Structure 1
Amino acid sequence: MKALIAIACLIPLFSWSQIGGQAGYQSLRLTTNPRAAALGGTTVSLADGDISQFFENPATLDSVKSKNIFFQINPYFADVFVYSGAYTFNVANAGTFAAGINYVNFGSFDMTDENGNHLGTFQAQDYTIQVGKAHQLGPFTLGANLKLTHSSIEIYGSTAVLMDIGGIFRPSKNWTVALVMQNIGGRVSEYTSFSSPSIPFDIKLGTSFKPEYMPLRFTITTTNLVDQNVIQDEESSGRNSKGIDKVWKRVNLGAEVLLSNNIQLLVGYSHKRKQELRLDDIGGGAGLSYGLMVKVKRIEFRFSRATFHAAGGSSFISLRTDLNDFKKIL
């Protein structure tokens, strides 16, 4: 409990230090697994043995067994591809750890001089490597991810060392409450001497609950709690909203339909995405997301689709399994 109080006291310090500056490392904001994508884009309170959730909140690792493995592919927009992978392992006298990687390939770009003459092509890519650990203290769990992130454009690159700190409280068997602070840290190298992109620090608060006699689990996640740009971006776009609408832009909603242990349907909604990416006269489904989980012989497959605007959306595909059970599959 003392640790959670200390984290809460540090929130204003981190929010003051991270707001402002040029936006950088935006790949850190991308969704890293189909489950979160289907539930509105992010969720920090699901701790039920799913290793992919440690990208969202390291405290969820207290429910994950050793030798779990996860892999995702996300064909994004304009030939951009996002890949994610994670694995849990035991360390003697230290317990279970998780290691993961997120890799974003932005593809090839034409290189030209100031006159427009073609000089060749160049690549752009981002990657983040992280290691996480969680520790349970009664109904509370605390966790941390240590992350190394690197962004490169042609011969230029920037590197940062970051940390996620998260906590989960379980008031009852079917109810969890979570708080996570993401991307605490700083840059260790810059693209150029005159480039200082800011790090997208964020604080997220969420809860998941399942009514005892219903095959449903609901998730509510608040995000961008310290990001003043949520309002500034809106004003610069000419789409001003009032009162409660500004609050809803920080809230993601999701629900899972638990048809069985092997089949689940998911649906979610992001009001921020809807407001920012809808057309002036039609929403086009922006902000909506949905997904499906199917488990076949202990291998879990997930597919999700997030709608960004009337022109389409982005798909997420993953598989997850426990290598301890792999011989049983064969």
Structure 2
Amino acid sequence: MRIIILIACFVPLIGWAQVGGQLGYQSLNLTSNARAAALGGTAISLADGDISQFFENPAILDSVGAKNIFIQINPYFADISVYSGAYSFEVGSLGVFAAGLNYVNYGSFEMTDEFGNDLGTFQAQDYTFQIGKAHTVGPFTLGASLKVAHSSIDTYGSTAILMDIGGVFRIRNNWSVSMVFENMGATISDFTTLESPSIPFDVKLGTSFKPQYMPLRFTITTTNLVNENFALEEGDGGRSNKSVDKVLKRLNFGTEVLLSKNFQLLVGYNHKRKQELRLENIGGGAGFSYGIMVQIKRIELRFSRATFHSAGGTSFISLRTDFNDFKKIL
């Protein structure tokens, strides 16, 4: 526990130096689980035993037992495929840890010389491996996740060492508040020696609550808390310069309809995504998302759909289970 506290005190100082650009390691901003995707793109305060939320906030691991497994496939745009997986395991008296992997396959590209002559093909991929641990004292849980991010294009590569620090405070059984310092760290090797890519450091704050007599759970998550004015987006047309709109672009909204333990519906809204990707005179559904959860015996299946543009969106398909329950399943 003392190690996690020391990390939480000193590592954020590294992260503040990374606020500058938004050009490097953008795969770190992709949603890594179907539940968060359906709730507007991110949800850091759902600490209810779902190991897939480990990608959102390492502090949720206090609610996850050993031998939980999660896998997901996300067919992205332009033949890009995103795969995610996580597994929890116990390490003696240290308790439960979790390890996760995100893999982005950008596919094959034609390679040519400066004269346009065909030289074959090359590939591009991004990998992010992380391992995390959480510790609880009373109603407060602190978690940390160490991450290694690697991006490769043909024979060139870039690697960064990063960390997420998160906390969960349980006000009541059905009400939690969370905060995450995300992607703190630095690049240790780069594609070239000319310029290192910026890392998408962010601070998020969120809450989840369920009214006592309603089959609904609401989630609100703030993002981009270290980005003061969204200067890059405001430069293009001035469509989103109103003060209220600037606030809404930092908020993600999600609702889970808890029809039963084995069946749930989810809906979400991301205002920033809508403003960035809608057409001039029509939104086309941009910013809205939805999903479904079905549990069959001990296996939880999820399907989510996030709309990015009037031309369409992207789907998330995931499976989660507990190896300890396999004998019960069979």
Shared fold (TM-score, shorter chain, > 0.5): yes
Matches within 5 A, 1:274-285: 274-285=274-285
CA distance in 2 between partners of 1:69 and 1:15 (Å): 30
CA distance in 2 between partners of 1:233 and 1:257 (Å): 36
Change over 3 Å in CA distance of 1:115–1:252 after alignment to 2: same
> In structure 2, the residue corresponding to 1:197 is in which secondary structure?
coil
CA distance in 2 between partners of 1:53 and 1:84 (Å): 12
Letter in 2 for 1:73: I
> In structure 2, the residue corresponding to 1:218 is in which secondary structure?
strand
Please state if 1:191 is matched with 2:191.
yes
Matches within 5 A, 1:109-188: 109-188=109-188
Change over 3 Å in CA distance of 1:203–1:8 after alignment to 2: farther
Give, in angstroms, the shift of residue 195 of structure 1.
2.9
- State the match for 1:235 in structure 2: 234
Change over 3 Å in CA distance of 1:69–1:10 after alignment to 2: closer
> In structure 2, the residue corresponding to 1:200 is in which secondary structure?
coil
TM-score, normalised to structure 2, is 0.95
Letter in 2 for 1:257: V
CA distance in 2 between partners of 1:297 and 1:15 (Å): 43
Give, in angstroms, the shift of residue 320 of structure 1.
0.4
Letter in 2 for 1:154: D
Q: What is the percentage of aligned positions where both structures have the same residue?
A: 71
Change over 3 Å in CA distance of 1:181–1:107 after alignment to 2: same
Give, in angstroms, the shift of residue 308 of structure 1.
0.1
- Cα RMSD of the aligned pairs, angstroms, is 1.8
CA distance in 1 between partners of 2:261 and 2:286 (Å): 30
Q: CA offsets, 1:294-323, max 9 Å, x none?
A: 000110000000000000000000000011
Give, in angstroms, the shift of residue 15 of structure 1.
6.0
Letter in 2 for 1:186: A
- State the match for 2:71 in structure 1: 71
Letter in 2 for 1:235: E
How many residue pairs align between the two structures? 327
Change over 3 Å in CA distance of 1:252–1:14 after alignment to 2: farther
Letter in 1 for 2:108: S
CA distance in 1 between partners of 2:216 and 2:10 (Å): 35
Matches within 5 A, 1:1-330: 13=13, 16-21=16-21, 23-228=23-228, 231-238=230-237, 239-330=239-330
Letter in 2 for 1:58: P
Change over 3 Å in CA distance of 1:37–1:138 after alignment to 2: same
CA distance in 1 between partners of 2:267 and 2:227 (Å): 26
Q: CA offsets, 1:105-142, max 9 Å, x none?
A: 00001111122222111000000111010000000000
CA distance in 1 between partners of 2:242 and 2:252 (Å): 18
Does the CA contact (< 8 Å) of 2:139 and 2:171 recur in 1? yes
Letter in 1 for 2:145: N
Does the CA contact (< 8 Å) of 1:15 and 1:226 recur in 2? no
Structure 2: 5+ residue runs without aligned partners? Answer: none
Give, in angstroms, the shift of residue 86 of structure 1.
0.4
CA distance in 2 between partners of 1:29 and 1:273 (Å): 13
TM-score, normalised to structure 1, is 0.95
Give, in angstroms, the shift of residue 22 of structure 1.
5.9
CA distance in 2 between partners of 1:32 and 1:10 (Å): 23
Letter in 2 for 1:209: F
Give, in angstroms, the shift of residue 227 of structure 1.
2.2
Runs of 4+ in 1 over 3 A off after TM superposition: 6-11, 13-16
